[in-house]
Structure 1
Amino acid sequence: MSGGVDGGGAGLQSIAVTASRPRLRRWTSWLFRATVLAGLACAAWGFVIEPGRLVERDHELALPQWHPSCDGLRVDVISDTHTGSPHNGLDNLDRVVSRLIASDAPMVLMAGDYVIHEVFLGTYVDADTIARHLRPLTARKPVVAVLGNHDWWKDGDRVRRALESAGVVVLEDQARAWQFGGCRFWIAGIGDYWEAPHDIGKAFAGIDDGAPVLALTHNPELFPDVPARASLLVAGHTHGGQVALPLLGRLVVPARSEFAIGHVVRNDRHLFVTPGIGTSILPVRFGVPPEISRLRLRSAR
């Protein structure tokens, strides 16, 4: 009798295993289809939807070296417009300009890379054409700029002349004083870390009083070398990595990873890196939408 019972139990187990196989195959098939669909959805978002977005993000920065007379000053920052990259033609530049005109910030900082050297499916737009589309902005408020590595690859002197002809103040290793109401401060523009002399001493040489200083450059790799005299260094270049995945983070950053995006504080010195507008190499953004960074500078004294 015991042998019969054991044989029956083995038979029931065999039937149960056989019956579970179709369910396992169905579950595996469903999981595969769901994974493929999720991958396609992420690809569509990264290559089609997110590069065409434009967010305006407020950032309030408390700066120990920022003078109380300038507390609350608003400054809009853009970088890496890369006009001509996919989803980022002249119509998108016009959209950016319209948003900046509508902003209550009294000035705009541009941190380089206005043209595109190369990007898959992109179209090169020359600096003179780009500059003409900036004229409505410079007619409303001061715009201060430095050049980026792509600008130098496409003839930096020509890009500079085009921007200046449109009313943009280009500061390459130069400083200039500004005043809004009772707030007087300097902007020191520093040349690109990769492609320009980036003579920091020369950029700060003309600053002859105790007014606070904003430093502006393209590549944040310069941050450790910028004097503590600067209340803040503003930079771009990284695109925020263009892709930021859950758990994995930012896969590729063309600078130190800690300088990828946002407000960075090291040894009581302050850096802000804007994620930019356009794309380069691959026309993809995921988790890092194009951004106009709206800074409010607060005195932490």
Structure 2
Amino acid sequence: MALRKLRITFIVLCCLGLLLAIWAFFVEPSSLRIKQDRIEIKAWPKTCNDLRIAVLADLHVGSPYKGLESLRKLVAAVNKSKPDLILLPGDFVIQGVVGGSFVSPEDAARILKALRAPMGVFAVLGNHDWWLDAERVELALSQNGIPVLEDRSQLITKGSCKLRLVGISDFWEGPHDIDRAMSDVQDGETVLAFTHNPDIFPQLPARITLTVAGHTHGGQVYLPFIGRPIVPSSYGERFAIGYKVEEGRHLYVSPGVGTSILPVRFLVPPEVTILAVSNGSS
């Protein structure tokens, strides 16, 4: 009887393990959600209350389930959500992800060209883009109407809402010259920054009202009661995902869309984040 119960338990555990593996390697990585999130920042201007920022991080076009057709569907879904501003915080390409197939930045950019937002669509480069060829990726995007703000900024407006959008190059591979990126910021301007790797966050000045980043993929795997076993950050899980406030400075990290190294996601589904920002006042 004891042996029979042991066999049944073993079979049940094997079936459960198989189901979890199917979910982690097939079901969840092939999915996509458009997640609406809302944050309140006291320093945020009332004229920009409820500004909706779409964050398309770590597209890794060519990773399993994230080819060109998937990218077309993603662009259509983002446009349907009608964001005010679209940010692309880097890693448009792949290197060596298991089961992936390289897609050129030129092909990806021709599809991303269809993104629409009244305040514009802007990009910075990620470490994978640098590993391929930073100039090539930047040229592909810029030739398709997507400005790449590598350590530079641009004033963006919608009605009475005015923001200084600051792009900071990748913390691992780019110069990440904060002073250069902030050089055109004027007194009284509200600064919205975006970058690929959130590890630069502790170095950023308090002058920046909100910073948006990607890179971590939320660890790709989240285990209840254990956490995120692998996060590509010197800070572990500190900046792995979501909204962080430290010493009055604000950071939002999107878990992104694609996968890197292993095509696995568990309880960290591929996501385009629609971030609504206000100062909490009606």
TM range (shorter): over 0.9
SS in 2 for 1:206: coil
Aligned residues: 279
In structure 2, the partner of 1:292 is 272
In structure 2, the partner of 1:11 is none
Q: Is the radius of gyration larger for structure 1 or structure 2?
A: 1
Mapped contact 1:64–1:231 kept (Cα < 8 A): no
1:65 positional shift: 2.1
Mapped contact 1:82–1:116 kept (Cα < 8 A): yes
TM-score for the superposition, normalised by structure 2: 0.96
In structure 2, the partner of 1:119 is 97
In structure 1, the partner of 2:125 is 147
In structure 1, the partner of 2:12 is 34
Amino acid at match of 1:131: A
Mapped contact 2:118–2:158 kept (Cα < 8 A): no
CA distance in structure 1 between the partners assigned to 2:72 and 2:57 by the alignment? 15
CA distance in structure 2 between the partners assigned to 1:242 and 1:261 by the alignment? 10
Amino acid at match of 2:258: G
Normalized per residue, the structure richer in helix is 1
Mapped contact 1:232–1:271 kept (Cα < 8 A): yes
SS in 2 for 1:52: coil
CA distance in structure 1 between the partners assigned to 2:210 and 2:111 by the alignment? 29
Cα deviations by residue, 1:195-242 (Å, 9 ceiling, x for unpaired): 000000110110113121111000000000111111111000000000
Gaps of 5+ in 1: 1-21
CA distance in structure 2 between the partners assigned to 1:232 and 1:74 by the alignment? 13
1:104 positional shift: 2.1
CA distance in structure 2 between the partners assigned to 1:83 and 1:297 by the alignment? 28
CA distance in structure 2 between the partners assigned to 1:191 and 1:99 by the alignment? 27
Mapped contact 2:119–2:158 kept (Cα < 8 A): no
Which stretches of structure 1, 4 residues or more, deviate above 2 A after TM superposition?
A: 138-141
SS in 2 for 1:209: coil
CA 1:131–1:140: 2 relative to 1, 3 Å: farther
CA distance in structure 2 between the partners assigned to 1:43 and 1:98 by the alignment? 30
Gaps of 5+ in 2: none
CA RMSD, Structure 1 to Structure 2 (Å): 1.3
Q: Does structure 1 residue 76 correspond to structure 2 residue 49?
A: no
Of all paired residues, the percent bearing the same amino acid is 45
SS in 2 for 1:231: strand
Q: 2:242 aligns with which of 236, 250, 262?
A: 262
In structure 2, the partner of 1:237 is 215
CA 1:214–1:141: 2 relative to 1, 3 Å: closer
1:30 positional shift: 1.1
In structure 2, the partner of 1:279 is 259
